[in-house]
């Protein structure tokens, strides 16, 4: 059985959850004898495929960022995907994002669509008016032979927003790619006592409400910090907020690679995940793998994925966030209990399992 993927996510992402998902999926499928995979790609800067073992391509101007770079990549990559589609030398097609360009070249071949979340639908005000991802997604959801949702929560949202037939959707969980190296020392000057916040600080990630919730805790303990990993430098608006809360010197930001990230998880007092919405929540598994106590929102997919491995709070309440943080910071036994339960919970998730379940879906389309 041969599965054809496409260029989309490896054209647009250097780092990111979706390209990592396809990298891990195809890597695992490659280990089985039953499946041949192909990713048509001519140029890319994607980090995960950089060793060129999965696909040979040209790493073009990887250290330069300029306007129109993605358009140039698309100019080369899209026709190459179209060429492979036209040749029809595959059994199942699995696009890596929502551009429906391929529909006219598919013939009668089945295609599988992975839906990661419904952020465009739930938080439409966050996206520019000319963003057509939601319309494209809706079209492909209608046309797909099978849909993979990465959580029961995402499946429920698909049914709610698009009216999708439940029998068409299969839930396949993701895995974890982050494991701390023993005795690694980064040589980065970092605070001794800190809570960790990971990734984007955009609207639905709920950073502002989180920081307001913990401000009084930071004010009472000047040796306690919040470390923001990734998400870019603080904006002027964020700096103003931190100044007004009198915690500007206790909230720091770092851009980190995976190895450094694992070290920051491992050494944090706790990882706080106050997101208002997640399709899955990969950082949940990362914190489990690194032995970091998890505090997270009690909404969307997070309770489904974290199970009993987290201390939960209401992400819409600063008071609830504050109380949960205090409870965990002041209780060493609770922190140790969360770490232990996190390691146990992690055993339910792996990329090998993701690949096995996806393979079953591919096969079901050929019988």
pLDDT for the residue numbered 65: 76
The rounded distance, in Å, linking the Cα atoms of 190 and 254 is: 9
Residue 182's CB: how many other CB atoms inside 10 A? 6
On the question of a common fold for 2-175+350-364 and 193-346, the answer reads yes
Nearby residues of 260 by Cβ (< 8 Å), 6 or more positions away: 186, 188, 254
The rounded distance, in Å, linking the Cα atoms of 84 and 279 is: 31
pLDDT for the residue numbered 339: 98
pLDDT for the residue numbered 329: 96
Under CATH, to which class is 2-175+350-364 assigned? alpha beta
pLDDT for the residue numbered 344: 98
CATH 3.40.50.2300 given to domain 193-346: no
The rounded distance, in Å, linking the Cα atoms of 250 and 194 is: 9
Nearest CA-CA partner of 120 in 71, 70, 158, 177: 158
The model's pLDDT over 50-77, given as tens digits with 9 standing for 90+, comes to 888 888 888 877 777 778 778 888 898 9
pTM of structure: 0.94
SS3 201: coil
What is the domain partition of the chain in residue ranges?
Answer: 2-175+350-364, 193-346
The model's pLDDT over 136-163, given as tens digits with 9 standing for 90+, comes to 999 999 999 999 999 999 999 999 999 9
Residue in the structure block whose two tokens are 């001794």: 192
| Ranges of the chain with pLDDT below 50 | none
DSSP string, 293-352: -EEEESSTTHHHHHGGGEEEE-TT-HHHHHHHHHHHHT-HHHHHHHHHHHHHHHTT--HH
The rounded distance, in Å, linking the Cα atoms of 192 and 80 is: 50
The model's pLDDT over 274-322, given as tens digits with 9 standing for 90+, comes to 999 999 999 999 999 999 999 999 999 999 999 999 999 999 999 999 9
């Amino acid at each position: 059985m041969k599965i054809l993927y496409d260029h989309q996510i490896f054209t647009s992402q250097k780092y990111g959850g979706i390209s990592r998902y396809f990298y891990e999926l195809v890597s695992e499928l490659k280990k089985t004898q039953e499946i041949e995979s192909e990713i048509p790609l001519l140029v890319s800067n994607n980090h995960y495929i950089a060793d060129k073992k999965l696909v040979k391509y040209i790493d073009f101007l990887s250290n330069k960022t300029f306007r129109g770079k993605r358009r140039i990549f698309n100019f080369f990559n899209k026709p190459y995907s179209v060429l492979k589609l036209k040749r029809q030398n595959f059994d199942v097609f699995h696009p890596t994002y929502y551009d429906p360009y391929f529909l006219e070249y598919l013939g009668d071949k089945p295609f599988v669509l992975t839906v990661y979340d419904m952020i465009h639908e739930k938080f439409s005000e966050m996206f520019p008016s000319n963003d057509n991802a939601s319309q494209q997604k809706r079209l492909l959801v209608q046309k797909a032979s099978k849909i993979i949702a990465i959580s029961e929560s995402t499946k429920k949202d698909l049914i709610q927003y698009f009216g999708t037939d439940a029998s068409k959707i299969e839930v396949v969980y993701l895995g974890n790619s982050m494991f701390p190296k023993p005795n690694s020392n980064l040589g980065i000057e970092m605070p001794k006592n800190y809570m960790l916040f990971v990734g984007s600080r955009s609207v639905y990630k709920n950073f502002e409400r989180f920081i307001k919730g913990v401000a009084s805790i930071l004010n009472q303990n000047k040796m306690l910090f919040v470390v923001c990993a990734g998400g870019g430098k603080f904006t002027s608006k964020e700096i103003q907020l931190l100044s007004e809360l009198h915690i500007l010197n206790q909230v720091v930001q770092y851009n980190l690679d995976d190895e450094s990230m694992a070290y920051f998880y491992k050494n944090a007092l706790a990882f706080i995940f106050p997101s208002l919405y997640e399709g899955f929540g990969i950082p949940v598994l990362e914190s489990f793998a690194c032995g970091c106590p998890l505090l997270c929102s009690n909404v969307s997919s997070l309770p489904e994925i974290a199970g009993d491995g987290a201390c939960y709070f209401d992400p819409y309440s600063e008071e609830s966030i504050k109380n949960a943080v205090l409870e965990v910071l002041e209780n060493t036994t609770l922190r140790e209990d969360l770490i232990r339960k996190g390691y146990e919970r992690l055993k339910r998730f792996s990329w090998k399992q993701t690949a096995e379940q996806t393979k079953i879906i591919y096969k079901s389309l050929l019988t």
